[in-house]
Structure 1
Amino acid sequence: MSGQRADASLLAGELRVVLGQLLRRLREQTEGSDLTRSQSSVLSRLEREGSATATALARAEGVRQQSMAKIIHALQDAGLVSGSPDPNDGRKSLLSLTETAREQFRTGRRAKEDWLTNAIETSLSAEEIGQLSSSTELLRRLAQSL
């Protein structure tokens, strides 16, 4: 392996570990949740992409429609998702986040950002904060690469 390739490989491994640790710390900042990963993933997708049918969600999440039906039922029982008739096909239902779910997203984001702000201010020097700021664009480009 060439030197540059080996360096990139080592960096990739380090980034995976460090970013995983950071994500775990951020998740710790929100109150405990009884939601499964699948349920959380569906809520995040609805927040990012807007209303969707159960069929579209199942396809996007890579699960069977029966599995998605169970996920949706649990989210509806928790008051986090509601359905309304699809204007394009009245036989289908469009699923959307409830205001309760939206408020949980807002509260969770605030808690995570408050923790991260405090960690940056107390753990890093002014120079290091500048370096971290410069690296966010590079991380964004990595996240958006194919």
Structure 2
Amino acid sequence: MAKPSTDPAATRALALAGELRVLIGQLKRRLREEARAGDLTASQLSVLGRLEREGPATVTSLAQAESVRPQSMGATIAALEKIGLVRGEAHPTDGRQTLLSLTPACHAWIKVSRAAREDWLAHAIQAHLAPAEQKQLASAVKLLKRLVDQ
């Protein structure tokens, strides 16, 4: 086990990291509520997000990326196909596989969902933060971007 640091700066950074992790988790859950995801599971939302970011994929590649068995991913995809958010087409180079992509309805749902989350957050910022605090928040966002981009 590592010896606890006696460096005050390291102790402050560790405490800040813990607070930030918890706060980001709370913000993420609140934004998810505002998205009105309905009855979609976390796994289904994750797959939709991956297909949006990375483009069409096979069940096998999605299963690997999500660290689940292909059978489990197949069930997730079947549910998404049933509600019209995902569609499959023959793979262009391997006829044995199906290439999955988001439907136009899913793209529209994502757009509306994203707008709802951003609208809630914008209203919360305006309602609960003074103009000077909004500037502080903008500075904090720049710092967070630097952490992510490292």
Question: The TM-score by the shorter chain falls in which range?
Answer: over 0.9
1:72 to 2:71 alignment: no
1:106 partnered with 2:94: no
Kindly indicate whether residue 119 of structure 2 is the aligned counterpart of residue 143 of structure 1: no
Pairs within 5 Å for 1:1-146: 1=5, 2-145=7-150
**Matches of 1:143 and 1:38 in 2, distance apart?**
24
C-alpha distance in 2 between matches for 1:50 and 1:32: 21
Aligned-pair distance for 1:143? 2.9
Counterpart residue identity of residue 109, structure 2: Q
- The DSSP-based 3-state class of the residue aligned with 2:21 is helix
Could you tell me how far apart the structure 2 residues matched to 1:5 and 1:132 are?
23
Query: After TM superposition, which residue ranges in structure 1, 4 or more long, deviate above 3 angstroms?
Result: none
Scaled by the length of structure 1, the TM-score of the pair is: 0.94
What percentage of aligned pairs have identical amino acids? 52
Which amino acid in structure 1 is aligned with residue 97 of structure 2?
A: K
Q: Structure 2 stretches of 5 or more lacking a match?
A: none
Q: CA deviation at 1:32?
A: 4.6
2:101 partner SS: strand
The offset of 1:31, in angstroms, is 2.1
5+ residue gaps, structure 1, are: none
Residues 54-96 of structure 1: CA distance to partner in whole angstroms, max 9, x if unpaired? Answer: 1110110001111111111111111110001111212111100
TM-score of the pair, normalised by structure 2:
0.91
